[in-house]
Structures are given as C-alpha cells and as structure tokens.
Chains A and B, each alone.
Chain A
Amino acid sequence: MKSGDKGKNNSKALRMKGVSRRSLLKGGAAVAGVAIGSGAITGFPTIWAQNIKNVTLRQFGTGTSGLNGISVKVKEDLGFTLQQNVLDTDAVMQRAITQPDSYDIADIEYFSTKKAFPTGVMQPIEVKKIKLFDKIVPIFITGKLTPTSTIAQGTAPHTVEFVEGKDSVKFAKAPTEWATLVPTIYNADTLGIRPDLTGRPITSWKDLVDPAFKGKAATLNIPGIGIMDAAMVVEALGLHTYADKGNMTKAEIDLTMAKMIEFKKAGQFRAFWKSFDESVNLMASGEVVIQSMWSPAVAAVRSKGIPCVYQPLKEGYRSWGSGLGIAKHLKGLELDAAYEYLNWYLSGWVGGYLNRQGYYSAVLETAQKFMSADEWGFWMEGKVAAGDIKSPDGVVMEKAGAKRDGGSFAERMGHVVCWNSVMDEDRYMVQKWNEFVAA
C-alpha cells in the first residue's frame, strides 16, 4: 500500500514539475512564480519528485567554501547528493575552462569568472528562479554597499554578475534577468600582524615595506593578488595613484614591480607564500611579523595562543568574492536540482555557517536566523562578545570580551577599495612577476 502511494505521488510530482518547466520555457513568469512561491511556504525541497534523491551534483571550488558540512546538510534538507572537489584558486579557473563536462556546479571567484564565463562553459542563471535574489547584498548588484558608496577598483563583482541574455556570454553593464553566478561568500582582506613583535601600531599598507621590519615581512606569491597588494603599498607610499589597480597599464606594472624588486633586493621580505599553511607557519614561528594574510589564517595563528591581528588599514581593504555558477551541459532534473541548491544556499543555514567563520554571506537577513544574537553582534556588528565565540565545529575562536578586528560588516565591507582582478595586460604582468621572483 505504501509503495503504491509513493508511486502515485511520484507520477503526480513529475507531472507538476513538467508543467512548471514547460511554462518556464514559455516564459510564463506567473506560473513559475507560483511554483517557486509554493516552495517558500513549505520549505525545501520544492521539487516533490522522489527521483531527485538519485541526483548527484558535482561541484568544485576552493577550500574556502568547499566544506563537508554543506554536503551533509544538502543531503538532509534537499535529498540529493552534492559531491565536492576542492582545488586551489588557479586550478579552479583551469578546471572551469578546460574541463567543462567534469562539473555541474562551479564554485568560482568573480575574477576567475571574468575569464571563464566568456568561454561559454557555463549557462546564465535565470534571476527569476532565485527567490532571494533581491535580498542579496547590493555590492554584487550595483557595486555599492550603500547608495552613497564609491565603486571599488578591480574586477568588482557587479561588473561580471550579469550577461545580456539567455545565450549571451557578454557581460551586461546593468542588472539583467540573467546572472553569471549566485554570490555566496566574500570577505575583505588586509595585512596580518604580530602586535607583540611589531612594537608599534600599524596603520597603513606602506608599513609592509617599513625598513623597521626588514627581513620580517612577507607577501603572497600569487601574481594576480600579489600585485594588488603591491599596488596598495605603492599608493600608500604616495609614489603613484592608479586609475584602476585591478587593471594596470604596462607602465604601471613596470613601476609597481620595479619598486617591489627594490624592496626585495634591500632584504625587506623573508618569504613569499603561496599556501594557507605557509602563511600560518611564517606568522606563528615569528619568522614574519607583518604580511598579506587571509582571515582564517589569522584565526589559525590565534588559535595557537599566539597574538595576531587582522589589522584594518587607513587605505582600506582588498576584497574577494565567489559564487555558484551552473555548467552549460546541465539540464532536466539535474538543472532543477541545481536551482534548488542555489535557493537553499541563500536560505540561511549556509550563510550562518560561513558568517560564523568570519566570512560574509550574500543574503544577510536569512543568515541572521541561524546565528545567536551574540554571534551576530560579534561577527556582523563589531560588538564585544558576551560569551565565547565558537566556530561551526564548536572550537572556541574568540574568548568573551573580544571584538572583531576591523569592526562591523559595514565598517569592513564599506572600506573595500579594490577587488581581486584579472588585468587586460596579465600576460605582461606575469612576465614581470617572474622577473621579481628571479631578481
């Protein structure tokens, strides 16, 4: 009897889904709205097909958001399997472009998207099908956190967020109905310091090359990001003002790298790191007292009981963001499952999970529901923690009484001056970077 019931439900569900998909194809926004809206009331999953359980979505991305907890929760909430593959930033871009059939969902950074999307390996996402799209932080839509903010330099996410149409690979200047990615995670990066060893307050990017820290400074050896940090330093020194740090002219690349070679030859740098572990180790061992760093690396140093500050600087932050894109080849039930997954991603649980690690989620109000008032106050509002702040795995990250470096969300994301980017002259840039390393 039970199995009979199930079969009936199953066929009914399939029919329903068939209707909604056909109507979507016709562009019947109203019907689609109802189909999606009904899901909003009852929660997930919105596709009531039993066979969705057999769906496996293959996702690849960086370790930042490639978290096993997410796969477990997807199985629990949505019923299908999310298979994750963790790669480094460079490998993500290579994989996205050169092996488009090897994934269904691309968890990819915005600056990589600038290269990847025009090659036609992904399909535009129908904005209408993303319920919370209008709740997404406006940085991704207009480039401005508040209506009065200035748009940051570099590959700002909103410049590669939309394409012109359903089959287009051309980035649109203004928001359209077709998105390249659903934004998921982002943060503002700055210098990490060892306050016990620097011996003085650090306030500016130029402190990275202060002779006082000779042989005790480090920067990262990822050309596209390293040169941005170098540009922040050059600008802070007052040597040059860039029209766009994320898209330098050849002359600007020359100037920036010449300056860096000068500092390198003077023995300013102890090391150039490439992996997360290296940066943690350099800082924890005291080999380096000031360096470009990522926020979880700072947390990792601090968790060893070693003082480390993610120092806000007067020139502002360099920022990065990623999102989820859908592979071109995806269709049918898998595509429905992908939309289901994207909607679920914004619905709060993941948001809370990411925010509690010090990142930011795209839709803040849903994430708030999955955080305690104290957590929200500490991570998002820059308030003093009333109790111990724990990571999603239950490890104490900050003791009661701590305050987040850099303060609130608005304080940190409001002071982003450039985004990780891809330059038009990147071929020349990498030549110059190799010169810098060889110097």
Chain B
Amino acid sequence: MTTQVVPTFGLRKLVPYFQAAPLTFILALFLVFPIVTIVIISFFDYNSSGQILPRIIIDNYTDVLFSNTTWRTYLSTFRFVVIVWVVTLFVGFWVSYFLVFHIRTNTVRIACFLITTIPFWTSNIIRMISWVPLLGRNGLVNALLLHLGITDKPLEFLLFSPFSVVVAFVHLNTFLMIVPISNSMARIDTRLIEAAKDANAKGWQILWNVIIPLSKTGIAIGSIFILTVVIGDFATVRLMSGGQSASVGLMMANQISLLQYPAAAANAVVLLAVVLLVVTAILRIVDIRKEL
C-alpha cells in the first residue's frame, strides 16, 4: 500500500506545475527568449549591411548613455508622460465616476463604454490627417478664433507642436485610464458611501476618504498603461509633432531603418530598464495584488 501512496502523492505535488506549464512555455518562448536575444545582440558589433558581427563591444551602450541626444530625448519623452498622465488621470477619473455612480442602467453604461473606444477605430495616419482640418493653420479652430476676433493671426502652435502631441495622446489613451478605474469603482460597496453620508461626511470628504483610496488600484494600473504606451510610442509623436519632436521609440525606429540592430537593441534594453524602474516605483506605492 505505502509503496503505491507515495508516488501518487508525488504526482499530485507536480500537478500545479503541469497546470502552469503551458503559460510558462508560452511566456518563455514569446517573452523571455526575445528579450534575452535583444540583450545579447545589444552587445554585438555590426556593419553597415546590417550584419551582426560576433564581436562583443559596449559601444552600443556608451553611444546611448553618453549622448546628449539620449538625455534630451528621454527628458522630452518624460515630459509627455507626465502631462498626458495628469490629463488622462483627471479626465479618466471623472468619466469613470460618471459612468459608475451616475448612470443607472447597465445598457447605457455599456453603450457609453463603447463610445470611449471610438478613437481606436481609425489608423494612426488617418487620425493625424484628420487633425489638420481641425487644428491646422486654415482649420476650424483657427477660423473660429479669427471670426470671433480672439486672435488676429492663426495660432500656429495648435498643430505640429508638443500641444498637438498631448491632444492626440489624451484623445487616444484616456480609455486606458477609464477601464481600470471604473472597474475599481464598480467594486466599491455603495453602503460605504451611505455610511459616510450618515456620518455627515461632505461630498469632497467622501471622495477623498472613500472613493479615491478604493480606486487606487485602478489608478495604478491605468498609470502603468499610460506610462508604457507613451514612453514607447513613436507614431503619435512623429505624426502629431510633424516629425519635429523626438521620442525614444523614434530614435530606435531610425536606427532599425538603417539596419543598426545592435544599437537599437541597446536602446531598447535601456528603455526597458527605465520602464521597469518606474513601474516598480508605482507598485511600491500601490499594492495591486492586495486589491485584486
């Protein structure tokens, strides 16, 4: 008997590993393996035909780390991250608040959710081209301002500027804030709010002491989404700034287009490190696991 029990017991212990195996395998193949490859390639030399030469160098990294351009580019990328984060958080929070606490029927709520996804329905280039008639020199906004006599010259900063980059990012990505925040908010027990009201709490006190603390997870997840999307972007920044602003992603795209794979890989590794640092910092502040 005992000889039979022991192996069964051992097999049982292995079951969770088998259950986790498919996902582990997929992650290893499609996530870990490519990243390891990128890290390895980032240390290799290359020639101008895009061939990777089996010679270990650190020039790819010194080129990235000791160049003014890199620092300036990261600075400008972070500026976008912060501005877009603040705006999308503000807009996203209130849209979620409205969706969760003010809309009574589920059907209307779902319909409203779908409306927030509309910006995703068009391609990047079409979206960019559509901004021109609105924000352009001869666009609707300028025509209106001129007509009302608010300005006497078309405002040039509306398009192909950091302003238009932020507008496009916000327009496109607020959705990424709305989803996790409204998810957190929907889980808030309404009895807590009633209890706060019974305890004579004012509106802002309920917001500050009940709703915001309980939406923290959603805010953290939304922030991570915004951070990773904005920091790795190259299409929106290029199209909306008219190619006049740099982004880390664009820097890599330029290198890849000239077949400088190891240099782009080094850039990618640095970017990955930066993103992981910031995400770790966010997770330090908010314990996402506790809330899930």
A interface, CB within 8 angstroms of B: 90, 93-94, 97-98, 115-116, 118-119, 215, 218, 221-224, 264, 269-275, 277-278, 281-282, 285-287, 422, 424, 426-427, 430-431, 433-435, 437-439
Contact = CB atoms under 8 A, between A and B. Distances in A.
Interface in B232-276: 238-239, 242-246, 250-251, 254-260, 263
A98 B260 CA distance: 12
Nearest to A98: B50
B250 A437 contact: yes
A434 B51 CA distance: 22
Nearest to B71: A438
Contacts of B194: none
Which 7 A-B pairs rank lowest in CB-CB distance, beginning with the nearest? Answer: A271-B242, A272-B243, A438-B246, A90-B257, A221-B243, A435-B69, A437-B246
Contact of A285 (B132, B239, B243, B263): B132
Nearest to A117: B49
A282 B69 CA distance: 28
Interface residues of B, number: 39
15 contacts: A94-B256, A116-B49, A222-B257, A224-B258, A273-B243, A278-B239, A285-B133, A285-B138, A427-B263, A430-B258, A431-B67, A434-B250, A435-B69, A437-B245, A438-B72
Contact of B242 (A119, A218, A430, A439): A218
B73 A434 contact: yes
Interface of B: 48-51, 63, 67-69, 72-73, 76, 125, 128-129, 132-133, 136-138, 156, 159-160, 238-239, 242-246, 250-251, 254-260, 263
B2 to A, nearest CB: 59
A287 B160 contact: yes
B49 A119 contact: yes
Contact of A427 (B48, B73, B136, B137): B48
A439 B75 CA distance: 12
Given A115-B259, A218-B242, A223-B254, A424 B48 contact: yes
A223 B49 contact: no
Given A270-B160, A273-B243, A285-B136, 8 more contacts: A93-B259, A115-B48, A287-B159, A427-B263, A434-B73, A434-B246, A435-B69, A437-B243
A427 B73 CA distance: 18
Contact of B254 (A119, A282, A434): A434
A113 to B, nearest CB: 11
Contacts of A274: 238, 243
A210 B223 CA distance: 44
Given A115-B50, A281-B132, A426 B246 contact: no
A246 to B, nearest CB: 14
Contacts of A433: 254
A261 to B, nearest CB: 11
Nearest to A94: B259
A286 B243 contact: no
B260 A281 contact: no
A90 B244 CA distance: 20
A141 B137 CA distance: 48
Contacts of B137: 285-287
Given A285-B133, A434-B254, A264 B243 contact: no
Nearest to A89: B257
Contacts of B128: 278
A273 B125 CA distance: 11
A272 B242 contact: yes
A277 B132 contact: no
A274 B138 CA distance: 22
Nearest to B241: A271
A122 to B, nearest CB: 12
A418 B84 CA distance: 43
A269 B242 CA distance: 9
A431 B63 contact: yes
A431 B129 contact: no
A438 B162 CA distance: 12
Nearest to A118: B49
B72 to A, nearest CB: 5
Contacts of A286: 136-138
Contacts of A222: 257
A438 B80 CA distance: 14
B136 to A, nearest CB: 5
Contacts of A270: 160, 242
Contacts of B251: 434, 438
Give the residue among B133, B137, B244 with the most A Cβ atoms within 10 A. Answer: B244
A274 B250 CA distance: 12
A97 B73 contact: no
Contacts of B49: 97, 115-116, 118-119
B156 A272 contact: no
Contacts of A435: 68-69
A94 B51 CA distance: 11
A438 B242 contact: no
A221 B238 contact: yes
Contacts of B156: 215
> Quick one: which of A274, A277, A424 has the most chain B CB within 10 A?
A274
B50 A430 contact: no
Nearest to B139: A285
B72 A277 contact: no
A271 B161 CA distance: 9
Contacts of B159: 287
